[in-house]
Amino acid sequence: MSVPDDRPVPDLRASDADRERAVLTLGRAAGDGRLDVDELEERLQLAYAARTHAELDTLLADVGGMIAPGSAPAPAPRSRARVVPSAAAGTSWIVSIMGGNERTGRWRVAERCNVVNFMGGTEIDLSDVELSDAVTDINVVTFMGGFEIRVPNGVDVQVSKFAFMGGHEVKLGREPPPPGAPLVRIRLISVMGGGQVQRGRKRRRMLDR
């Protein structure tokens, strides 16, 4: 005769998909104004470090989301770019004259951002950016220079372009954005110059010491 085991059943372990679903829910809560920037940052860190469903449910309980055991994972962007309404102004001008600028990592972009390259270049990575509004306009004017723009997954991107004695390369893939995704409109004007717009985070090569 077997003896009943009174030991508590351990919490169900969270998968990568569960953590991504939690991050998506938190991002939507911030976009709705239910979390401020500091709360969102703290919960995102805890969500990525969570090991069980119970830990994720604690983070989501007051914003209307739970991780149900065995539920199918909802598609989520693999980027931390998100709309964070705030009174703080974001970057509205990036100017490179006979030099270069690089904006990567966590930064905030204004609703309208103008990028000017005159005999210089700019590298812009939106993978971890904070968007000031659901629609962001980025205007890039290049004269005898170049640029590279990286846009994240989970964001709708529209590109219009004009080049004279130059060219543009746009690689966004065919995967449609999720419903309600933020929109980034990019306008490119280049004279004797050009650049590229690509989707996905830039892979950094590890250098051997």
pLDDT tens digit string along 45-103?
888 888 888 888 888 888 876 655 544 444 444 455 677 776 567 899 999 999 999 99
- Is the pTM of the predicted complex or chain greater than 0.85? no
Q: By three-state DSSP, how is residue 129 classified?
A: coil
The full set of domain ranges for the chain reads 16-63, 82-199
Lowest mean pLDDT among 8-12, 45-49, 128-132, 156-160: 8-12
* The amino acid at 44: L
d(CA 176, CA 155): 9
